[in-house]
Amino acid sequence: MTSSELLDKLLEKRGLHTKEDKESFLNPNYERDILDPFLMRDMEKSCERILSAIQNNEKILIYADYDCDGIPGAVILNDLFEKLNYKNFDVYIPQRNSEGYGLNTESVERMKEERVKVLITIDLGITAIEEVADAQKHGIDVIVTDHHLPHAEIPKAFAILNPKCDEYPEKMLCGAGVAFKLAQGILKYLASTRRNLRYEQNDLALPRQSANDGEYLPDIDNKNFSEHSPDISTGWDKWLLDMAGLATLSDMVPLLGENRAIAYFGMKVLKKSPRPGLKALLRKTKIAQEYLTEDDIGFMITPRLNAASRMDDPRRAFELLATKDTAEGETLANHLSNINDERKNLVKSIMRDINKKFETREHTEVIVIGNPAWKVGVLGLIAGKITDEYKRPAFVWGRDENDVIKGSCRSDGSVSVVELMTDTKEHFTEFGGHEGAGGFSVHNDKIHFLEEALCKSFIAVKKEVSTTVEYNYDLKLSLDDISMQNWKEIEKMAPFGLANPKPMFLFENIPVTAMKKFGKAEEHLEFIFTNSRGQKIKAISFFSTPESFTKNPAVGEPISLLATFDLSRFAGRVELRLRVEDIF
């Protein structure tokens, strides 16, 4: 088939049949696909409160989650306030290993002492009922920006920006995506009222209403804004898309609708981003910025940013993305790379211990395992590896620096972990997350009964999962179809990710010409096949052995291969190859 026919068939497999649907998908349009931020119920209220705080020089605190969603979201608002020449704000990122996820009582007390007047949460807060109530009681107006599922009760915050709590059309924005909408809203609010923003220190004329009266703040007084304010040109918000795109790709939200547009334009900005820390991190990982891919982000950039909270201080990741100093960017890039190496070694060590235990222990429907010595920051990674290897939900726990049992959980797709924890809520002091992943804290006296309780709840809330092995692929191809021309057509569907995976192809009855291990520890596999023209076709599989596949491959024997196209630019050499999904 021709390259254009290949692309057409792939789009139709994604449910795109009309010319208009295909064009819309392949060519995202900023004005069409990036939605009006004021479709969020509390957007106007949020913008007015933040701008009144700026006008009155009130202390604003950005309180962001410590992962590669919350941190880019914090950078978005940090950049916006700096662009507006506003200085009376701070960014706070809680320590994963001592404070844990979300707002906490101690941080609210510090806000009161520091006379914070407006608290903006990023990627958290929708389940923080008591903490938000405390903040509001202390005269702190809380604007929750979050994307997580709310519980039955939501906080009585001044405003809530969460697409899962209102009628906003794109329900699956990530946390930084919501922060981006807030930044857009503030800029659009200013543009629509034709105000250029500049805080005038001696002019504090704007009256305030109580945050509890349920009404909007009065309009902002024009005389407090100077004609000499910074010129924020139309479209400046697009430069923030590097952070929104980074988080959208990192947080595994569906890359459809507005998320596709954010990721698509985010990748364009990331390839041109002038951020010194980001550029230094790309150099450190030997990634050419102009050829940056979503795989580079997922496998190289995101783990290093997340290593800050897992192994050290999440502030380091924020500083790397926000700094304007080249030398600081280089130092932070080196630091994050080093602690990421430490993180990998720690995870390997823990997994060795777990695999040894699993040689003798029973494999229950839900796996619960932990050790007080395990670092809380890596428990999510451990849970993910257990789920991948043992094909069942995993809850992994450790003790934080405050001697509290905390953990992370992952689903294998058989159950929603949030639903599972809700059904077993008497065992937890707190919990939250998505259908596929979550975090929790457990009563000390109930940790040893948690596995039994979760297994009972699993029976009640599990999904019906087919036990039939199915090989899902988009199209059957021959080895002759592997060409740069076809790759360029496939690439038009990028960026790839959740709900828009890389096209999967089936290659049937192809003999293995050669096979070898590669990598420092020979932990990867390389296969060579030969097409009808005698050309060698390379396929690779990372962190695999011949036993990793449905069929154990052998040189000279024909196999069926499931694989995606993969363009490598390692060491400056361009090479089209296949990436193996399975062999059978």
**257 and 288 co-located in one domain:** no
Q: Is residue 442 part of a domain?
A: yes
CA distances from 296 to 289, 300, 346, 436 (A): 10, 5, 22, 23
Instruction: Yes or no: say if 51 and 190 are a contact pair by the CB < 8 Å rule.
Output: yes
Look at residue 195 and tell me whether its pLDDT is greater than 60: no
Of 461, 481, 500, the position where a domain reaches its end is 461
**136 and 67 co-located in one domain:** yes
Instruction: Return the minimum-mean-pLDDT range out of 97-106, 195-204, 388-397, 471-480.
Output: 195-204
Using CA atoms, how far apart are residues 380 and 417, in angstroms rounded to an integer?
Answer: 13
Q: Is residue 10 part of a domain?
A: no
Q: Can you give the pLDDT at residue 221?
A: 38
Domain count, the chain: 4
Look at residue 329 and tell me whether its pLDDT is greater than 80: yes
**301 and 266 co-located in one domain:** no
CATH number of the structural domain spanning residue 546: 2.40.50.460
What is the average pLDDT score of the chain? Answer: 90
Q: Can you give the pLDDT at residue 206?
A: 31
CATH number of the structural domain spanning residue 386: 3.10.310.30
**397 and 542 co-located in one domain:** no
Percent of the chain's residues with pLDDT above 90: 81
Tokens 């457990």, residue located: 442
What mean pLDDT comes out for the span 509-522?
A: 94
**277 and 289 co-located in one domain:** yes
CATH number of the structural domain spanning residue 83: 3.90.1640.30
Q: Is residue 544 part of a domain?
A: yes
* HSE of 507, CA atoms in CB hemisphere, 13 A: 26
**What does residue 263 show for φ and ψ, rounded to 5 degrees?**
-70, -40
Cα 301 vs. chain centroid, distance in angstroms?
12
**250 and 276 co-located in one domain:** no
Q: Can you give the pLDDT at residue 303?
A: 96
Of 279, 308, 342, the position where a domain reaches its end is 342
What interhelical angle do 43-55 and 175-192 show, nearest 10? 70
**End-to-end C-alpha distance for the chain, whole angstroms:** 25
Pairing of strands 524-530, 536-541: antiparallel
Q: Is residue 349 part of a domain?
A: no
**151 and 89 co-located in one domain:** yes
**428 and 475 co-located in one domain:** no
Instruction: Yes or no: say if 540 and 524 are a contact pair by the CB < 8 Å rule.
Output: yes
- The burial class, CB within 10 Å (0-12 / 13-18 / 19+), for 455 is middle
What mean pLDDT comes out for the span 411-433?
A: 91
Pairing of strands 575-583, 558-568: antiparallel
399 forms bridges with which residues in the sheet?
Answer: 405
Instruction: Yes or no: say if 50 and 118 are a contact pair by the CB < 8 Å rule.
Output: yes
Instruction: Return the minimum-mean-pLDDT range out of 118-122, 240-244, 357-361.
Output: 357-361
Of 247, 270, 293, the position where a domain reaches its end is 270
Look at residue 193 and tell me whether its pLDDT is greater than 80: no
Using CA atoms, how far apart are residues 259 and 354, in angstroms rounded to an integer?
Answer: 37
Instruction: Yes or no: say if 175 and 146 are a contact pair by the CB < 8 Å rule.
Output: yes
Look at residue 216 and tell me whether its pLDDT is greater than 50: no
**183 and 58 co-located in one domain:** yes
pLDDT band at 540 (very low <50, low <70, confident <90, very high): very high
Q: Can you give the pLDDT at residue 260?
A: 98
Q: How confident is the model over 55-91, as pLDDT tens digits?
A: 999 999 999 999 999 999 999 999 999 999 999 999 9
Structural domain for 452, as ranges: 358-461
Using CA atoms, how far apart are residues 490 and 476, in angstroms rounded to an integer?
Answer: 14
pLDDT band at 234 (very low <50, low <70, confident <90, very high): low
Q: Is residue 278 part of a domain?
A: yes
Instruction: Yes or no: say if 493 and 32 are a contact pair by the CB < 8 Å rule.
Output: no
Q: Can you give the pLDDT at residue 470?
A: 66
Which DSSP helix (H) or strand (E) runs through 559?
strand 558-568
- The burial class, CB within 10 Å (0-12 / 13-18 / 19+), for 297 is buried
Percent of the chain's residues with pLDDT above 70: 92
Q: Can you give the pLDDT at residue 278?
A: 98
Q: Is residue 238 part of a domain?
A: yes
What mean pLDDT comes out for the span 339-350?
A: 95
**412 and 546 co-located in one domain:** no
pLDDT band at 231 (very low <50, low <70, confident <90, very high): low
Instruction: Return the minimum-mean-pLDDT range out of 75-79, 145-149, 210-214.
Output: 210-214
**40 and 115 co-located in one domain:** yes
**331 and 378 co-located in one domain:** no
What mean pLDDT comes out for the span 563-583?
A: 93
* Residue 299, SS3 per DSSP: helix
Q: Is residue 16 part of a domain?
A: no
Look at residue 212 and tell me whether its pLDDT is greater than 80: no
Tokens 């740069």, residue located: 484
The per-residue DSSP string of 490-548 comes to: HHTTPSPBTTBPPPPEEEEEEE--EEEEESTTS-EEEEEEE-TTS-EEEEEETT--GGG
Q: Can you give the pLDDT at residue 521?
A: 87
Q: Is residue 577 part of a domain?
A: yes
Residue type, 495: P
